[in-house]
């Protein structure tokens, strides 16, 4: 296949860059509960909902680690990876970014600097090539830049483009499909997406035979008293023996 | 100076699969035992069904002793060794808390690789650089101890050969056993049924594998609930027959076992007469000396070897029991990797279930088939099992059908999250010249002691088995209706793994082995060693049951010969 003539650029001019009409804010005002309940997160639906003034804002979300601009950038990346589209909600509704922010404050703090450096590098690259930061670009441009990150064509990422891509992909999946306790998979949108019927402390032969047809129970591990701190007064005298020398 | 503690009969270093099993026959015989364990007690409340915490974040082993002294790895001695992770955990019960709990006996061939291969194919079929030897005894010697562990710990399974009576529901290739398993096997699943039927069409012999998991009420513990968080998680109802819920509580209840938790043994103390006198351990900020008549090392293979290599004395200047230079030699880690991955055209209903709930094929393992026209010895056990959770399901292979992100990918996983399967193929691995464990010259643990360095790689025999077994696995999946098959690489360096063997090999020849046929040191007679570090071959199956049978045998020998060993 012949290479495209770089002089015949069929892309949009960079001077007046078309930007995504702040999709994040639209979704925000639509509310994740509403979007999830609709079983779809398409732009049309979101706009329709906004016009009806649906008011169920995102529940309290501190940014424990990320800056506001980092969060906007990451939000856009997560939405490219697991999009809200005609097939239903994605990483956005699951609040994968909220999960990642919390994880970077705790278990994943070792890669915080990679996020810092890479998110800035991606925005710099976006500004240089498309005239606006990543999170303000239209989805097509975002996707092509992200593909560039994955294939090591966007400079300045840490530990490398593909290395950062793999990290953020893995974390976005974690944040979309983990137990909701950790701040992602909100309203079980991730588990519903792949028809995971939910955590059960016991699965009968009939349950298994029904497989994916099993009604999703929408339970977190920590909806079970046994695993919460509240269970401290439960009689659990299982271990025998002494801790002492 | 360490604080001197009152002397005890036996000190066991490590209260896991091996030490936890050995404790019971010792304490039943009235011996006073102190078990020193690097971890603490865990309860069913600690085993929340939480894929992120257990599966992805490796709770609880990431913060433990084993993690802080993970071995370094290199394929050959001319390369620099790099520190990786450590797959084992520290707790009372050790890795039996969160293992898959497959509980196999070795097949008779695994005890006699050299003589059986010579007899059937001629001596030139043993790889020339392999240091493999026959075990000092055959399967028949270990059979009664296998049975003792199966009944004491609680193993479910279907026997294939009881007193010569072959049952096609079990493994027809297994060695003759005297009795059935104490419990029926774990139940089949729609997926294992699919695979069993396919295997039967191929004229293979599928069967439900044995597991240290209750399939019915057993010894006061309820049956498995099949909820699917067994792998890297402990059991929330104590259906997994961890030593923490079986042999150890019984030994404690006898009044003869004291377990010391959160204690790190740093040195085995040896007198000038070459006999061991006890162990030094660190607990919190304090150092203790625990004297004992007999010391049994029962930590993991890497730690058993490391502790010997660290314990230098006048009698053993190159490390305890190492005057023949055999400590760390004949190391092998089981070639468990290189799986085959399949995609099916319909949902498999695998969201609930556990890795030990599987169907096995032993037709291509050990010497269960004719190797005359093949260029390797040994083989592989093929294992198709039920185990799926949402995060790992979303990270499934895309089989080259879509890019691994975006709308097309999302559509792909929405359709296929419950349609893939990853096989588990366990292959014969042999010991070789040039594969060994020693102390790393530069990398140290937080206490300043060098970590273990692994120098080892798979050889042609292992790689040929891997390729052969992948062919068989692919054939099996295709027969079951798989529409896509993906193979992974065959492997190179033997990294740190849950199936590590050798380093203190058992054998009658004291020039090539560290312990005798009862598990006691050839050089320090009141030092016993428990664990897969004494095993000279891997078989094509998980080591734990064999480790426990050997530990039980060593413990019974010690109890029955107390005066001669301890004096």
Backbone angles phi, psi at A111, to 5 degrees: -110, 10
B238 chain-A contacts, CB cut-off 8 A: 238
* pLDDT of B201 strictly over 80: yes
CB B99 within 8 Å of CB B230: no
User: Residue A229: its pLDDT value, please?
Assistant: 59
In B, minimum Cα distance to A184 occurs at B52
Looking at the domain assignment, is residue B242 inside a domain? yes
B249/A176 touch (CB, cutoff 8 Å), yes or no = no
Total of domains in chain B? 1
User: Residue B494: its pLDDT value, please?
Assistant: 86
CB A169 within 8 Å of CB A81: yes
* pLDDT of A7 strictly over 60: no
**pLDDT confidence band for A155 (50 / 70 / 90):** very high
Note the pLDDT tens digit of each residue in B263-319. Answer: 999 999 999 999 999 999 999 999 999 999 999 999 999 999 999 999 999 999 999
Average pLDDT, integer, range B546-555? 98
Which residues are paired to B4 by β-bridges?
B289
- Percentage helix, strand, coil for chain A under 3-state DSSP, each rounded to 5: 55, 0, 40
CB B298 within 8 Å of CB B531: yes
d(CA A116, CA A108): 13
Q: With the CA atoms of A126, A132, A138 and A144 taken in that order, what torsion angle do they form, in degrees rounded to the nearest 10? A: -10
* pLDDT of A36 strictly over 90: no
* pLDDT of B37 strictly over 80: yes
Q: How far is A229 from chain B (nearest CA, A)?
A: 10
- DSSP line for B490-552: ---B--S-SSEE-SS-B-S-TTT-SB-TTSBBSSSTTEEE-SGGG-S--TTS-SHHHHHHHHH
Q: What's this model's pTM, rounded to 2 decimal places?
A: 0.91
- DSSP line for A162-203: HHHHHHHHHHHHHHHHS-GGGS-SGGGHHHHHTT-----S--
A234 chain-B contacts, CB cut-off 8 A: 45
User: Residue B495: its pLDDT value, please?
Assistant: 85
A236/B349 touch (CB, cutoff 8 Å), yes or no = no
d(CA A38, CA A199): 23
A236/B45 touch (CB, cutoff 8 Å), yes or no = yes
In B, minimum Cα distance to A169 occurs at B405
**pLDDT confidence band for A103 (50 / 70 / 90):** very high
Q: How far is A92 from chain B (nearest CA, A)?
A: 13
User: Residue A210: its pLDDT value, please?
Assistant: 65
CB B459 within 8 Å of CB B494: no
Residue B166, CA distances (Å) to B142, B162, B205 in order: 20, 7, 12
Note the pLDDT tens digit of each residue in B362-384. Answer: 999 999 999 999 999 999 999 99
Point out the residue among A90, A146, A212 whose CB comes nearest to the CB of B410. A90
DSSP state of A36: H
Note the pLDDT tens digit of each residue in B83-126. Answer: 988 889 999 999 999 999 999 999 999 999 999 999 999 989 99
As for the ipTM of the complex, it is 0.94
A227 chain-B contacts, CB cut-off 8 A: 45, 48, 50
Looking at the domain assignment, is residue B431 inside a domain? yes
User: Residue B465: its pLDDT value, please?
Assistant: 97
Backbone angles phi, psi at B454, to 5 degrees: -95, 125
Q: Which of B222, B242, B348, B352 to mutate to test the interface with A (most CBs of A within 10 A)?
A: B352
Q: Please tell me whether the peptide bond between B507 and the residue prior to it is cis, using omega within 30 degrees of 0.
A: no
Average pLDDT, integer, range A94-121? 97
User: Residue A211: its pLDDT value, please?
Assistant: 62
Strand intervals (E) in B400-481: 420-422, 424-427, 436-444, 450-455
Distance of CA B353 to the CA centre of its chain: 21
Pairs across A and B, CB distance < 8 A: 162
**pLDDT confidence band for A17 (50 / 70 / 90):** very low
Query: Domain range holding B486?
Result: 3-72+82-566
Point out the residue among B50, B259, B349 whose CB comes nearest to the CB of A242. B259
Looking at the domain assignment, is residue B409 inside a domain? yes
User: Residue B336: its pLDDT value, please?
Assistant: 85
Length of chain B: 567
A219 chain-B contacts, CB cut-off 8 A: none
- DSSP line for B76-109: STTS--EE-------STTGGGGTS--B-PPPPHH
More confident residue, A55 or B449: B449
Percentage with pLDDT > 70 across chain A: 68
User: Residue A224: its pLDDT value, please?
Assistant: 87
A226/B227 touch (CB, cutoff 8 Å), yes or no = no
Instruction: Report the range of poorest mean pLDDT among A30-39, B50-59, B101-110, B272-281.
Output: A30-39
Which residues are paired to B332 by β-bridges?
B501
A197: left (phi over 0), alpha (psi -120 to 50) or beta: alpha
Dihedral sign, CA of A146, A150, A152, A155? Answer: positive
More confident residue, A16 or B519: B519
User: Residue A226: its pLDDT value, please?
Assistant: 79
User: Residue A212: its pLDDT value, please?
Assistant: 56
B413 chain-A contacts, CB cut-off 8 A: 193-194
Point out the residue among B43, B353, B414 whose CB comes nearest to the CB of A238. B43
Q: Show the CA angle centred on residue B198, arms to residues B193 and B203, nearest 5°.
A: 120
A199/B49 touch (CB, cutoff 8 Å), yes or no = yes
Q: How far is B181 from chain A (nearest CA, A)?
A: 23
Run of H or E including B358: strand B358-361
Note the pLDDT tens digit of each residue in A173-232. Answer: 999 999 999 999 999 999 999 999 999 999 999 888 866 578 899 999 999 887 875 544
Q: Is B420 helix (H, G, I), strand (E, B) or coil?
A: strand
User: How many Cβ atoms sit within 10 Å of the Cβ of residue A231?
Assistant: 12
User: Residue A58: its pLDDT value, please?
Assistant: 59
In B, minimum Cα distance to A190 occurs at B390
d(CA A43, CA A23): 8
Residues 6+ apart with CB under 8 A from B199: B205, B206, B359, B361, B476, B479
Note the pLDDT tens digit of each residue in B468-505. Answer: 999 999 999 999 999 999 999 887 788 899 999 999 99
Note the pLDDT tens digit of each residue in A45-93. Answer: 333 333 333 334 457 899 999 999 999 999 999 999 999 999 999 999 9
A236/B351 touch (CB, cutoff 8 Å), yes or no = no
Point out the residue among B259, B407, B417 whose CB comes nearest to the CB of A194. B417
Percentage with pLDDT > 90 across chain B: 92
Note the pLDDT tens digit of each residue in B328-363. Answer: 999 999 988 789 999 999 999 999 989 999 999 999
User: How many Cβ atoms sit within 10 Å of the Cβ of residue A56?
Assistant: 14
Distance of CA B62 to the CA centre of its chain: 19
Looking at the domain assignment, is residue B134 inside a domain? yes
A22-28: long-range contacts, CB 8 A cutoff, minimum separation 24: A23/A79, A24/A72, A24/A75, A24/A76, A24/A92, A24/A135, A26/A50, A27/A84, A27/A92, A27/A93, A28/A57, A28/A58
B391/A205 touch (CB, cutoff 8 Å), yes or no = no
Which residues are paired to A19 by β-bridges?
A137
Looking at the domain assignment, is residue B77 inside a domain? no
Note the pLDDT tens digit of each residue in B133-184. Answer: 999 999 999 999 999 999 999 999 999 999 999 999 999 999 999 999 999 9
Residues 6+ apart with CB under 8 A from A185: A94, A95, A99, A175, A176, A177, A178, A179, A191
Looking at the domain assignment, is residue B218 inside a domain? yes
């Amino acid at each position: 296949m012949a290479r495209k003539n770089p002089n015949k650029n069929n892309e949009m001019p960079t001077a007046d860059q078309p930007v995504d009409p702040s999709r994040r804010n639209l979704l925000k005002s639509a509310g994740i509960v509403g979007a999830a309940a609709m079983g779809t997160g398409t732009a049309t639906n979101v706009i329709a909902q906004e016009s009806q003034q649906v008011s169920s804002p995102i529940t309290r979300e501190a940014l424990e680690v990320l800056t506001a601009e980092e969060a906007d950038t990451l939000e856009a990346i997560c939405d490219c990876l697991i999009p809200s589209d005609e097939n239903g909600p994605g990483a956005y509704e699951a609040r994968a970014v909220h999960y990642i922010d919390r994880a970077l404050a705790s278990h994943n703090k070792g890669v915080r600097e990679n996020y810092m450096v890479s998110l800035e590098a991606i925005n710099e690259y976006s500004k240089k090539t498309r005239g606006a930061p990543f999170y303000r670009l239209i989805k097509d441009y975002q996707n092509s830049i992200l593909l560039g990150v994955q294939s090591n064509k966007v400079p300045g990422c840490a530990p490398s483009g593909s290395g950062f891509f793999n990290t953020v992909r893995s974390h976005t999946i974690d944040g979309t499909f983990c137990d909701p306790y950790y701040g992602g998979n909100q309203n079980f949108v991730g588990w519903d997406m792949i028809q995971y019927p939910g955590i059960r402390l016991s699965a009968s032969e009939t349950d298994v035979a029904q497989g994916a047809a099993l009604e999703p129970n929408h339970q977190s591990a920590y909806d079970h008293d046994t695993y919460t701190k509240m269970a401290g007064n439960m009689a659990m005298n299982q271990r025998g023996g002494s801790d002492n020398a | 100076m360490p604080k001197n503690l009152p002397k005890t009969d036996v000190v066991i270093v490590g209260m896991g699969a091996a030490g936890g099993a050995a404790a019971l026959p010792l304490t039943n015989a009235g011996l006073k035992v102190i078990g020193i364990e690097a971890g603490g007690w865990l309860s069913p409340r600690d085993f929340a069904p939480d894929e992120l915490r257990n599966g992805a974040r490796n709770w609880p082993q990431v913060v433990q002793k084993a993690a802080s002294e993970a071995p370094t790895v290199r394929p050959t001695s001319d390369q620099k060794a790099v520190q990786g992770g450590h797959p084992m955990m520290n707790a009372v019960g050790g890795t039996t808390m969160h293992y898959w709990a497959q509980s196999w006996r070795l097949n008779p061939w695994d005890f006699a690789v050299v003589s059986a291969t010579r007899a059937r194919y001629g001596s030139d079929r043993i790889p020339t650089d392999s240091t493999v030897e026959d075990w000092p005894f055959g399967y028949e010697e270990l059979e009664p101890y296998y049975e003792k562990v199966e009944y004491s710990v609680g193993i479910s399974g279907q026997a294939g050969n009881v007193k010569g009576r072959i049952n096609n529901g079990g493994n027809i290739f297994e060695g003759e056993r005297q009795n059935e398993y104490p419990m029926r096997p774990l139940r089949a699943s729609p997926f294992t049924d699919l695979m069993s039927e396919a295997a039967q069409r191929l004229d293979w012999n599928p069967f439900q594998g044995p597991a240290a998991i209750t399939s019915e009420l057993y010894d006061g513990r309820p049956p498995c609930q099949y909820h699917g968080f067994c792998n890297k998680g402990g059991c929330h109802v104590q259906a997994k027959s961890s030593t923490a819920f079986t042999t150890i509580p019984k030994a404690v209840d006898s009044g003869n076992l004291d377990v010391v938790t959160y204690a790190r043994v740093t040195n085995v103390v040896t007198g000038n007469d070459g006999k061991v006198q006890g162990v030094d351990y660190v607990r919190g900020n304090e150092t203790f000396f625990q004297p004992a008549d007999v010391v049994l090392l029962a930590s993991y293979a890497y730690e058993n070897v490391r502790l010997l290599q660290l314990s230098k004395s006048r009698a053993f200047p190159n490390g305890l029991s190492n005057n023949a230079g055999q400590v760390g030699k004949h190391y092998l880690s089981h070639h468990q990797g290189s799986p085959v991955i399949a995609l099916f055209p319909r949902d498999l209903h695998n969201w609930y279930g556990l890795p030990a709930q599987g169907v096995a094929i032993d037709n291509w393992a050990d010497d269960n088939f004719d190797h005359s026209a093949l260029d390797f010895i040994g083989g592989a056990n093929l294992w198709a099992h039920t185990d799926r959770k949402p995060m790992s399901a979303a990270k499934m292979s895309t089989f080259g059908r879509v890019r691994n992100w975006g709308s097309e990918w999302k559509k792909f996983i929405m359709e296929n999250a419950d349609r893939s399967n990853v096989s588990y193929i366990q292959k014969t691995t042999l010991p070789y010249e040039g594969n060994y464990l020693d102390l790393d010259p530069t990398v140290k643990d937080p206490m300043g002691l060098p970590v273990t360095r692994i120098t080892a790689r798979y050889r042609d025999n292992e790689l040929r088995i891997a390729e052969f077994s992948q062919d068989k696995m692919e054939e099996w999946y295709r027969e079951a209706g798989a529409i896509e098959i993906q193979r992974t690489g065959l492997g190179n360096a033997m990294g740190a793994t849950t199936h590590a063997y050798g380093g203190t090999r058992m054998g009658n020849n004291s020039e090539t082995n560290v312990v005798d046929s009862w598990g006691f040191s050839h050089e320090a007679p009141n030092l016993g060693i428990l664990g897969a570090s004494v095993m000279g071959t891997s078989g094509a199956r998980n080591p734990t049951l064999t480790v426990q049978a050997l530990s039980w045998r060593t413990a019974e020998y010690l109890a029955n010969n107390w005066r001669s060993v301890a004096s």
